[in-house]
Amino acid sequence: MANTISDETIEYVGILAKLELSDEEKENAKKDMESMLDYIDKLNELDTTGVEPMSHVFPVQNVFREDVVENGDGSSATLANAPESRDNAFVVPVTVEA
């Protein structure tokens, strides 16, 4: 293992994650983090020349529709159904006293 994680790093990560780890859990976390970093180093050894970066493993294109207003402003029709309105807004009973 080329990568070593210090006890201080494990303590710091535990604080950030708001975890209380036992000594055994800290040792296991150190081993896990070291093996993850070793694997990343191994992946970095691969020749990726000519390989385009991707944001998704599947060939997904933008599936969203264009954001086009089709029915316009229906506020007057909506306010027509209100029991009471004023200044282009609904009038509702007071629920919180200041």
Give CA–CA dist 55/94, Å, rounded.
Answer: 49
- Mean pLDDT for the chain overall: 88
Q: What's the pLDDT band for 3 if we cut at 50, 70, 90?
A: confident
Q: Kindly state the average pLDDT of the residues 70-90.
A: 86
- The widest CA-to-CA distance across the chain, in whole angstroms, is 73
Pick the residue with more confidence: 57 or 8? 8
Q: What is the CATH number of domain 7-43?
A: 1.10.20
Where exactly are the structural domains of the chain? 7-43
Give CA torsion, residues 18, 22, 24, 29, to 10 deg. Answer: 10
Contact 1, 38 (CB under 8 A): yes
